[in-house]
């Protein structure tokens, strides 16, 4: 492990107190340059191979959209769980289907994160859309917390923030003062668009830490910084879709995740972070492949079973085909999706309940909602709330 210096401290005044705010050096790591030893090289090779398998799994699914749909929602949820949300995947999907939740606030926040992910992907895919940039991340942030004016949605912070503790003076970490942010983010943006002979995955790992160290927003830095990883992996051509989501391994090893971020700042240990990050990428990619295969087997098996049932209706089969993209439904959402009458929809839902594909959520007599339960079970692996 090298003891390189990764930035400097600037003394800033915060309410009668002098505090040390950390200003990181620009990427890439210097003096010494990042050293990828044999172990790190093996980890790069393993992570790259795992991503290739994931790309193939993504191509195998007939309509990759439903696959992306579920995974993006899971990532939004788990990334928000790192932040502390108690919402479940079922809550999030139910809210999207228009179901009534007793306490929708946290699920709504996750839905906003989904909008931020979708927005950012659309922008970078659009011919004249924004590239991966400070502006893009700000716009994503605006969509993440649209109703929280006190958190300055879409804006780089104008005040000093801190991590841990009750004020900067007793904080665990004090990010750069606000007047350093424009330059720090521009420099990160330049690094992202410059050439560098480090492997792209390694560069994505460096960019994430740099973003977290800059901590440019009043809140939401973790979520936007994890979104940045997904965007970079796609941007640098490692995957053709946003299939890699690292929040599950980060959440499972949250203490190490945070300690590794500290290690970079305090000891210049970029190498230690990179190895941790690559292991997380491999694990996330392998889990995604396994989940995609299980989901694919489940949905094709269920579709075959439903189609073969003697009392199946055309609408029931059509609904079955829609479930991977809409694993939580309400009679109203199904009416809209199928453009069918109420009795037809009721019949289709009842049929899928009898076939144990759908299960009613809760015991409401009105505004009922239903879940494709075996699907939800697979997708929700490692996404239970609470720590
Ligand atoms: N010691 C640390 N050094 C740098 N970044 C950290 C540290 N501890 C946590 N973080 C990052 O800060 C994030 C939390 O910041 P916050 O702005 O509240 O984001 P969010 O609201 O999305 O969780 C964590 O998810 C992590 O990525
Ligand atoms: Mg937060």
Return the pLDDT at 45. 98
What CATH number has the domain spanning 309-379? 1.10.10.10
Return the pLDDT at 64. 63
* Atom number of ligand 1 nearest to Cα 265: 3
State how far the alpha carbon of 349 is from the alpha carbons of 16, 101, 141, 353, in Å: 65, 21, 38, 6
DSSP letters of 171-214? -SB----GGGHHHHHHHHHHHHHS--SS-HHHHHHHHHHHHHHH
Regarding the beta carbon of 273 and ligand 1, being less than 6 Å apart is answered no
Which residue lies with its CA nearest to atom 13 of ligand 1? 222
Q: How far is the CA of 98 from the centre of ligand 2 (A)?
A: 27
Select from 133, 137, 86, 125 the least CA-distant residue to 109. Answer: 86
* Tokens read off for 161: 């923030």
Element (H, E) at 81: helix 64-83
Regarding the beta carbon of 221 and ligand 1, being less than 6 Å apart is answered yes
Return the pLDDT at 158. 97
Q: Which residues surround ligand 2, an ion (CB under 5 A)?
A: 83, 219
What CATH number has the domain spanning 7-291? 1.10.3290.10
CB 95 within 8 A of CB 111: yes
Return the pLDDT at 66. 73
Return the pLDDT at 13. 96
Regarding the beta carbon of 112 and ligand 1, being less than 6 Å apart is answered no
- Closest ligand to C-alpha of residue 218 is 1
Which residue lies with its CA nearest to atom 26 of ligand 1? 222
Return the pLDDT at 150. 93
Peptide bond into 32 cis (omega under 30): yes
Regarding the beta carbon of 109 and ligand 1, being less than 6 Å apart is answered no
From first to last of its 387 residues, the chain has per-residue pLDDT tens of 558 999 999 999 999 999 999 999 999 999 999 999 999 999 999 999 999 999 888 777 666 677 778 899 999 999 999 999 999 999 999 999 999 888 899 999 999 999 999 999 999 999 999 999 999 999 999 999 999 999 999 999 999 999 999 999 999 999 999 999 999 999 999 999 999 999 999 999 999 999 999 999 999 999 999 999 999 999 999 988 888 889 999 999 999 999 999 999 999 999 999 999 999 999 999 999 999 899 999 999 999 999 999 999 999 999 999 999 999 999 999 999 999 999 999 999 999 999 999 999 987 777 799 999 999 999 999 999 875
* Tokens read off for 265: 């700042």
Return the domain boundaries, the chain: 7-291, 309-379
Q: What is the dihedral of CA 144, 146, 149, 150, to 10 degrees?
A: -20
Select from 284, 296, 298 the least CA-distant residue to 243. Answer: 284
Regarding the beta carbon of 72 and ligand 1, being less than 6 Å apart is answered no
CA atoms within 13 A on the CB side of 57: 24
Return the pLDDT at 364. 73
* Atom number of ligand 1 nearest to Cα 226: 27
Q: How far is the CA of 212 from the centre of ligand 1 (A)?
A: 6
* Rounded Cα gap, residues 52 and 303, in angstroms: 28
Return the pLDDT at 366. 75
pTM: 0.96
Regarding the beta carbon of 174 and ligand 1, being less than 6 Å apart is answered no
Return the pLDDT at 63. 65
Return the pLDDT at 356. 97
- Closest ligand to C-alpha of residue 215 is 1
Q: How far is the CA of 53 from the centre of ligand 1 (A)?
A: 30
């Amino acid at each position: 492990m090298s003891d390189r210096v990764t930035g400097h401290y600037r003394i800033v005044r915060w309410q009668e107190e002098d505090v040390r705010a950390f200003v990181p050096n620009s990427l890439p790591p210097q003096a010494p340059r990042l050293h990828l030893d044999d172990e790190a090289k093996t980890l790069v090779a393993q992570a790259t191979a795992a991503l290739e398998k994931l790309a193939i799994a993504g191509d195998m699914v007939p309509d990759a959209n439903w696959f992306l749909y579920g995974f993006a929602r899971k990532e939004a949820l788990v990334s928000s769980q790192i932040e502390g949300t108690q919402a479940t995947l079922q809550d999030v999907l139910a809210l999207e289907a228009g179901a009534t939740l007793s306490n929708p606030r946290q699920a709504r926040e996750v839905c906003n994160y989904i909008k931020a992910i979708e927005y950012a992907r659309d922008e970078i895919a659009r011919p004249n859309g924004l590239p991966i940039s400070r502006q893009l991340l700000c716009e994503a942030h605006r969509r993440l917390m649209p109703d929280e004016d006190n958190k300055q949605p879409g804006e780089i912070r104008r005040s000093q923030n801190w991590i841990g503790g009750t004020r900067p003076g007793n904080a665990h970490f004090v990010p750069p003062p606000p007047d350093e942010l424009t330059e720090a983010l521009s420099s990160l943006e330049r690094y992202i668009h410059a050439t560098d002979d480090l492997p792209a995955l390694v560069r994505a790992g460096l960019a994430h830490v740099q973003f977290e160290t800059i901590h440019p927003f009043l809140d939401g830095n973790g979520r936007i910084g994890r979104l940045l990883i997904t965007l970079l992996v796609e941007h640098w051509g490692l995957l053709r879709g946003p299939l890699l989501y690292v929040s599950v391994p980060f959440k499972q090893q949250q203490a190490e995740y945070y300690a590794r971020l500290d290690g970079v700042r305090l000891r210049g240990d970029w190498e230690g972070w990179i190895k941790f990050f690559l292991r997380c990428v491999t694990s996330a990619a392998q889990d995604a492949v396994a989940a995609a295969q299980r989901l694919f087997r489940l949905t094709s098996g269920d579709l075959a079973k439903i189609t073969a049932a003697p009392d199946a209706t055309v609408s029931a089969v059509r609904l079955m085909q829609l479930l991977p993209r809409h694993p939580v439904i309400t009679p109203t959402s199904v009416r809209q999706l199928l453009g069918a009458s109420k009795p037809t929809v009721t019949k289709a839902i009842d049929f899928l309940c009898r076939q144990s594909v759908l299960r009613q959520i809760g015991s409401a007599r009105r505004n009922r909602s239903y879940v494709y339960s075996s699907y939800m079970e697979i997708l929700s692996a490692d996404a239970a709330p609470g720590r």
